[in-house]
Amino acid sequence: MENSYKYFKRDISWLSFNYRVLLEAEDDTLPIYERIKFLSIYSSNLEEFYEIRVAEHRGVIMKKNYTEESGAEAEETLAAITKEVNRQQREYYRIFYDKILPELNRQNIYLYQDSTPEPFHEEFVHNFFNEEVFPFLSPVMIQAGDIRTFIRDRRLYLVIRMVKKSKRLSNPDYVPEYHYALMKIPYAKVPRFIELPAYDGKFFIMFIDDIIKANLSNIFPGYVIDSCYSIKISRDADIYLEDEKNENIVESIRKKVKKRKIGALSRFMYDRAMPDDFLAFICEAFGITPDDLVVGGRYLNLQDLVKLPNPKGKELEQQIPVPMRVSFLDEMESVFKVVKKRDVLLHFPYQSFDYLIRFLMEAAFDPKVEEIKITQYRVAENSAVINTLVSAAQNGKKVTVFVELKARFDEENNMSTAERMEQAGIRIIYSIPGLKVHAKVAVILRKDNEDGGKRKDFAYLSTGNFNEKTAKIYSDMALLTSKSEMIEDIKNVFAILEGNISEPVFRHLLVARFNMVPELTRMIRQEIEHVKQGRKGRIILKMNGLHDQNMINELYKASENGVEIDLIVRGICCLVPGQPYSKNIRVTRIVDMFLEHSRVWYFYNDGEENLFLTSADWMRRNLNRRIETAFPILVPEIKQEIIDILKIQLSDNVKACEIDENLHNNCKRDNNPVKVRAQLAIYEYLKKKS
């Protein structure tokens, strides 16, 4: 019998999250360049959404992709997406024009909104165009029915309509015969924003688009320019590798990454001011269908706003707290000596990521260390983590790295770093066909002569990547431990990756595709049993995405039975609150200066309080098609620290929103005279503890 539970559509829920990102740009309590940053993030997020999610639905309709979705469902979803995106785009440009630009002007910063510069800038703009821009322009005439010029994704183009001068001048009654041209803006050669000379105490910035538009007559000297508009497209950027054989996976991914640039069209975005007949010509010339169209404004590709020059410096930017030092780690010359005595919990970016580098570097040079094993999902370019592993291999350590080549948009970086590591003598294990390895774990195998020659191994488990770049902006937690029972489980994870065992037994870790879902289900149902026995039932789950319907059903049942549930979900949340079966569930979303990335699972368990940190979201892919790990927090003091942080986040009344049954982001406001901005409060909490 089917249940009567409701679920939000995954992609509409994601758009709700991205709209919450956009709302940060409207928050006038934030510095103006912080607000501009969120405009950029919103645009970048939406670009990837069209490249992956919209492209997948289109593939279903065209019968190119096999999913559980039907063609009719895909069409319905795309219609809902288009409606919501068009609404959000109107909001985006309203915020940009009515909020952002006036505030910049109040700061004496003027971002030109016209291709006609002020008289005192005419000479500069003219000279800059001739010297820095004109040599790199390659306009192409467009003729309907002719060979189509290929339009690249993630690039901004201008389409120009014009008439020949000679015909217009010789016949005043001439009905114009329009000619059209396409021209790519040469981003690789010139920046998107050009700082013009300051004037009368004011700073001026101009879009490169407008500098080009101001000089179109020089590009097309035989024509009179009628009009010019911006366009851009998004293409299918996903890579499907479910059936690839292991021995071919590297070359397969390499080939498919190259093909990504010529993927099927998923969005054609254009300036809403473009006349209908102009748009119709462009659509016919390039084979654009009405379903491809997304309305934009005068300026597209506004993820570039992150590069907007700031002539006044830090006073207009969000001041990010400096990562803290951890005193007891700094006082000891060896991280190993500290971890040998106690588990260490690290909080990024509140605390320095240097401690992980120091941990790996110590392993690279410690003569007692025999072997290092680590997973790689996303690493920074020129990664310090990779450098330490190379040093370890050069120092005679056996180093094994599992490299997930299918980390979306990081495939090329992962391939190049893997090749570099192989050259240094590191053993590389590549992706498992049909699976992604998303676990963030490392183990260091070490003999300890001080303990009678017995092993004293060490491990690192995290909710986030081994990436020093994202560790400055992603909020994550990581555990350093030498507990042998935990390390045995981690060794079993690597045994799976190395193909040495197929049916492992885990005593402490929860591992996706093995014991994770059964244990989660058991713990949820255990809370239900406690409530039935007249005791307290309480669950707090923090994650980035909640999509898996089976797990949502378990939460609905727990709510129906009186278990109190708080969800802190940053992104996709398909669980519908505010229903009879979800009346005991509250959904909180926090968007602030750091990206909330840590995943935490808390079960009250009649006062014993089971607590896990994990790499896994409750998405179908994470629970069923990935290798993920969740690790228990066994030290009471560390457990309490994490619980305190969860309480801080649930008390946020500045940056937290509560998601309602209509997917609205309702700002949490209470009568508490104390304003709690969770990320700043967590920083102060950890600062006091240290």
SS3 of 602, please? strand
Nearest to 520 by CA among 599, 462, 421, 458: 599
Burial of 568 (0-12, 13-18, 19+ CB in 10 A): buried
Nearest to 112 by CA among 233, 19, 222, 203: 203
Contact of 403 with 477, CB cutoff 8 Å: no
- For residue 505, the surrounding DSSP H or E stretch is none
Nearest to 152 by CA among 103, 120, 187: 187
CB atoms within 10 A of CB 484: 12
Separation between Cα atoms, residue 402 and residue 667, nearest integer Å: 42
- Bridge pairing between strands 398-403 and 369-376: parallel
Rounded (10°) CA dihedral 544, 547, 551, 554: 100
Instruction: Pick the catalytic residue from 121, 347, 438, 597.
Output: 438
Measured at the CA of 112, the angle between CA 109 and CA 114, to 5 degrees, comes to: 165
Measured at the CA of 126, the angle between CA 121 and CA 128, to 5 degrees, comes to: 95
Amino acid letter at 142?
Answer: I
Contact of 349 with 471, CB cutoff 8 Å: yes
Contact of 447 with 455, CB cutoff 8 Å: yes
CB atoms within 10 A of CB 573: 28
438 catalytic per annotation: yes
Separation between Cα atoms, residue 410 and residue 236, nearest integer Å: 16
Measured at the CA of 21, the angle between CA 16 and CA 22, to 5 degrees, comes to: 95
Per residue, what are the HEC states of 284-334?
HHHCCCHHHEEEECCCCCHHHHHHCCCCCHHHHCCCCCCCECCHHHHCCCC
- For residue 99, the surrounding DSSP H or E stretch is none
Separation between Cα atoms, residue 490 and residue 460, nearest integer Å: 10
Separation between Cα atoms, residue 584 and residue 573, nearest integer Å: 16
Residue with tokens 């000297």: 221
Amino acid letter at 201?
Answer: G
Which residues are tagged catalytic?
438
